[in-house]
């Protein structure tokens, strides 16, 4: 899933501003993850139109970066995440972000940002749900 990440000064109304800009451009937010760290907000968005979303946010003065997420599906049981993370670590693939997208008691769907998407996709192929533009 193609995503964008915005790093901005943390302030009241930041998400309201971002969502207003995107709504005005008729771009839907499909996934969102927001954290505030040391006075900065780090917001990762999955959008209905990532290219246009990046353009409208940048034209409004926001710093926007592209990211590619590998989406995987695991059985929901102890140790499954460890199998994946240990394999990636052993093969020299660094994970910069993991986000749980859904969990239903039987399966868990995760979004992972990694430094070597093609390598990660090959290593996790039996769990892979979606990946776009791996480099």
The C-alpha atoms of residue 30 and residue 49 are separated, in whole angstroms, by 10
pLDDT tier, 96 (very low <50, low <70, confident <90, very high otherwise): confident
Contacts of 114 (CB under 8 A, 6+ apart): 70, 88, 93, 94, 95, 96, 120
Q: What is the mean pLDDT of residues 113-119?
A: 90
Check residues 57 and 3 and name the one with the higher pLDDT: 57
Residue scoring higher pLDDT (20 or 70): 20
pLDDT tens profile 41-67: 989 999 999 999 999 999 999 999 887
Fold classification of 70-130 is: VC0802-like (3.30.2130)
Among the listed residues 14, 63, 62, 25, the one whose alpha carbon sits nearest the alpha carbon of residue 47: 25
Of 88, 44, 70, whose CA–CA distance to 129 is shortest? 70
Do 85 and 67 contact (CB within 8 A), yes or no?
A: no
Beta-sheet strands, E only, within 1-135: 2-9, 29-37, 40-47, 64-68, 70-75, 95-103, 107-114, 128-130
Fold type of domain 2-67 = VC0802-like (3.30.2130)
Q: What is the pLDDT of residue 133?
A: 46
Instruction: Calculate the average pLDDT of the chain.
Output: 90
Domain(s) labelled CATH 3.30.2130.10 in the chain stretch across 2-67, 70-130
Q: What is the pLDDT of residue 20?
A: 98
Name the H helices within 39-96.
50-59, 80-90
- As a whole number of angstroms, the distance between CA 135 and CA 26 comes to 29
Split at pLDDT 50, 70, 90, the class of 68 is: confident
pTM given for the model: 0.67
With contact defined as beta carbons under 8 Å apart, do 41 and 9 qualify? yes
Q: Which residues pair with 95 in a beta bridge?
A: 114
pLDDT of residue 130: 59
């Amino acid at each position: 899933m193609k995503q964008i990440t915005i790093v901005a000064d943390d302030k009241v109304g930041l998400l309201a501003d971002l969502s207003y800009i995107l709504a005005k451009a008729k771009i839907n937010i499909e996934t969102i993850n927001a954290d505030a760290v040391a006075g900065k907000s780090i917001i990762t968005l999955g959008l209905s139109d990532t290219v246009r979303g990046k353009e409208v946010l940048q034209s409004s003065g926001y710093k926007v970066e592209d990211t590619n997420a590998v989406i995987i599906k695991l059985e929901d049981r102890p140790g499954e995440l460890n199998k994946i993370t240990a394999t990636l670590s052993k093969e020299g693939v660094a994970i910069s972000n993991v986000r749980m997208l859904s969990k239903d008691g039987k399966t868990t769907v995760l979004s992972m940002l990694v430094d070597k998407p093609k390598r990660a996709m090959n290593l996790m192929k039996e769990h892979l749900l979606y990946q776009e533009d791996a480099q």
